[in-house]
Structure 1
Amino acid sequence: MPSDAEGVEALHQLVLSSLEDDQAVETVSIPLAGKSSIADHMVIASGRSTRQVASMAQKLVEKIKAEFHKTARIEGLPNADWVLIDAGDVIVHLFRPEVRSFYNLERMWNFGDAPAANEG
């Protein structure tokens, strides 16, 4: 039986490979272990259209259920400008590109890389 860490990494790899298979654009994975209690990884990716974002999200939720026998929570459908998938140890944000650039989550969560985020 895999350890918790192995299970988290397997889930993380499933997310990344599923998004790659579905031709996600600009996929970024941000490690959160030790930085936040919400999850160990945050994955952010874009789709070229609301249809692609919705399709990537639905396929990912189905794969998580099939492989890990757990139901990931999904929010943001059917609008699909920004879809959030909460798979427990991995949080996934799928965006249309213009919505992603507006919210700029990478900058907010990359603590070490964005000194300006601590100002103010």
Structure 2
Amino acid sequence: MQERELLSLVAKAADDKKAIDLVALNMQGVSLVADYFVICHGNSDKQAQAIAREIKEKAQEHNIHVKRMEGFDEARWILIDLGDVVAHVFHKDERGYYKLERLWGDAPIVDLQEELRA
């Protein structure tokens, strides 16, 4: 699966669980960690966990190896490492504190509307 297809899969999975303020950053040329970061949040621990679980399950359904998932039990900042795409699922109280979009301000924002419509 190409990285853009993986980005689409992650965005759709998060959107299916009503992720709030879903943003994707194109990290190519900005960071060696991943090609894309997907950032979103849930209004509660349970919603953040549901978003993360859906991303993990959709990846596994498509035979995509989940390299690591951290922070699931605490549900404050859940990181799902899928290789080319890293998803950051925050609890609403934590997202504003870490401000990843500003931290990685050099990274272009990806318009996810086309991925979410498909």
Q: TM-score range by the shorter chain?
A: 0.7 to 0.9
Question: Normalization by structure 1: what TM-score?
Answer: 0.84
Q: Classify 1:34/1:53 alpha carbon distance in 2 versus 1 (closer, same or farther; 3 Å).
A: same
Amino acid aligned to 1:25? I
Instruction: After TM superposition, list the pairs within 5 Å mapping 1:15-94 onto structure 2.
Output: 15-94=10-89
Higher helix content, 1 or 2: 1
Flag the structure with larger Rg: 1
Amino acid aligned to 1:68? N
Using the alignment, how far apart are the partners of 2:11 and 2:30 within structure 1? 21
**Would you say the 8 A contact 2:66–2:81 is kept in 1?**
no
Unaligned runs of 5+ in 1: 1-5, 114-120
Unaligned runs of 5+ in 2: 109-118
SS at 2:22 equivalent: strand
Greater RCO, CA 8 A, separation 6+: 2
Deviation for aligned residue 1:62: 1.1
Aligned-residue sequence identity (percent) comes to: 34
Aligned residue pair count: 108
**Would you say the 8 A contact 2:28–2:36 is kept in 1?**
yes
- The 4+ residue runs of structure 1 with deviation greater than 2 A are none
